[in-house]
Chains A and B, each alone.
Chain A
Amino acid sequence: MRHILVPLYAIIIFLVLWELLVWVNDWPNYKMASPSDIWPAFWKFKFLFFQYGWDTLWRTVVGLFIAVLCGVFLGMIMGFSKVLREAIYPLLVGFNAIPKATVVPIIALMFVGQHDLNTVLIAFMISFFPIAVSVSIGLSTLEPEYRDILRSLGASKSLIFWKIALPKTLPEFFGALKVAVTLAFIGTNLMEIVSPHGRGLGALFDSGKTNSDYPLMFAVLIALALLGIGLYYVVVVLEKIFAGWAERSTD
């Protein structure tokens, strides 16, 4: 029960302080909307919120899913072959160093009008890097004795991967996935904001801006935060199931 109550209280206190801050300074809603402005803004567009929220969610999840596939694949290549790691790593780092906001217009022009594809693509591009790096580090730092234990019994390479390398990498993988989830969200919204006809919460945010509906913009931010929290905790639950052993018991 405490697990739910403590964070809940914290959220309530945060909202109250926010409301007070706006009220004390007597800010108009175009400067900063208060929590009491946000609920009506949400209610007015509640159907759009659910519809577009769903768009944002599935695009993020699909982008993330592709990022996991590609990231794990690249990580495996780099983890197992030193030569390929040396070849791919600088490319990866360079690619990751490019701010994705600058890639957004390029992708938007490359696939004009294909909003779903564009958005998924950016979500994927922004989030696969930490996964690839963590998997490759997890695999390449596997102590040789672990491999020798199985190799001395005549185990094949793939058997060593399934029995030892893969499970041993899972904690690192989930650590990276938590980072990647948040990144994928950023990617999705970057793209949605520049594609006003492309639906998604980013597009709703943009329409709030064009129509000077400031409470709507803040309501979108809150909706994004809620979606982000939800996805993050899905990853936490998956981590508990698949890599719970890595957590040391405190007692």
Chain B
Amino acid sequence: MSLNVKKDAIIIKDVTHTYKTETGLLPVIKNLTMNIPENGFTAVVGPSGCGKSTLTKLISGLLQPDKGEVYLSGEKITTPRPTVGMAFQNPVLLEWRSIIKNVMLPLEIVPNKLNLQQKEQRAKQLLSLVGLEGFEEKRPSELSGGMRQRASLCRALVHKPKVLILDEPFGALDAFTREDLWKVMHNLRKEEPFTGILITHDLRESIFLADEVIVLSGRPASKQFFVKVPKSKTPKLDSLYTSKSIDMLKTLRKQIEIAQSQQEQNK
């Protein structure tokens, strides 16, 4: 695989990371190399506890790898930077703020030239894009789980980050709400271009949303398998039930099983 520093928005180059625990060293990622092209969207799947969340921390600069390098838009990452947006499984909205003020939070931290009115306008624009028009002044506790996650996505995108990191953002939602949010994600990608990495346990989600799915091996994680997913301009949920998709899901399922048994052995 060739790494194109200019073209690729996210480059992870031969990264190894080890946690120091009380019982000794715990290697979580080993010689991982992957890249995501500008405006690409890659899903990362793998067995539970294989180091996927560590990967998001390395990309966002919250953690430094022991070995190897992470580049965002050609720049080596050593500290967190405002060109990143993040959303987690827990929407972590601030209860004491209204929805719109929650969405505006990154604009209070990231240096920008917007005045208050422009910030509000930007937040409103995103909220209406995800179907939360009219909920601007509500408190997070007044919203359903799916709506809170929508707001969390808006907050991740409000400062126009180049890179969007999603760590199982839909993991805690019920199946139908999750599918609704998949459609929201497609909509957001069209209107607000970003380079994305999605950590997920849901194989259907990975092939429905991403251009490429990477399967990580069991801990310590490295790249075990990847598959490109052809995308139509208007993806429909029905497309998940074609024989092509089902074959792809079966292949991915098989790879996960291999990774799981490998992780079992390494214990």
Q: Which residues of A contact B (CB under 8 A)?
A: 143, 145-146, 148-155, 159, 163-164, 167-168, 170, 243, 245-246, 248-249
Instruction: State the main secondary structure of chain B at its contact with A.
Output: loop
Task: Assess whether B94 is in contact with A154, with CB atoms less than 8 Å apart.
Answer: no
For residue A249, which residues in chain B have a CB less than 8 angstroms away from its CB? 142
**Subset of 6 A-B contacts with CB under 8 Å:** A145-B88, A149-B86, A152-B84, A154-B79, A163-B109, A246-B96
B109 CB contact (under 8 Å) in A143, A146, A159, A168? A159
- Does B62 touch A at the CB level, under 8 Å? yes
CA distance A91 to B14 in the complex (A): 49
- Inter-chain contacts of A152 with B (CB < 8 A): 60-62, 80, 84, 86, 165
Check A167–B96 contact: CB distance below 8 A.
yes
Say how far A171's CB is from chain B's closest CB, in angstroms: 9
User: Knowing A163-B105, A245-B139, A248-B141 touch, does A151 contact B92 (C-beta < 8 A)?
Assistant: no
Q: How far is the CB of B58 from chain A (nearest CB, A)?
A: 12
CA distance A176 to B110 in the complex (A): 35
CB distance from B142 to the nearest CB of A (A): 8
Q: B83-98 vs A: 1/0 string, CB under 8 Å?
A: 0101010101011100
**Chain B residue total in the interface (Cβ 8 A):** 27
Q: How many Å from the CB of A250 to the closest CB on chain B?
A: 12
Of B81, B92, B159, which one neighbours A145 at CB under 8 angstroms?
B92
The answer to whether A153 touches B95 (Cβ under 8 A) is no
B79 proximity list for chain A (CB < 8 A): 154
Determine whether B108 belongs to the interface, using a CB cutoff of 8 Å to chain A.
yes
Interface residues of B in 61-83 (CB under 8 A from A): 61-62, 79-82
Distance (whole angstroms) from the CB of A241 to the closest CB of chain B: 12
Q: What CA separation (Å) do A248 and B140 show in the bound complex?
A: 11
Q: A145-B90, A153-B109, A154-B82 are in contact. List 10 more A-B contacts (CB 8 A).
A: A145-B88, A148-B86, A149-B88, A150-B105, A152-B80, A153-B106, A153-B159, A155-B109, A245-B139, A246-B96
Which of A145, A152, A159, A168 has the most C-beta atoms of chain B within 10 angstroms of its own C-beta? A152
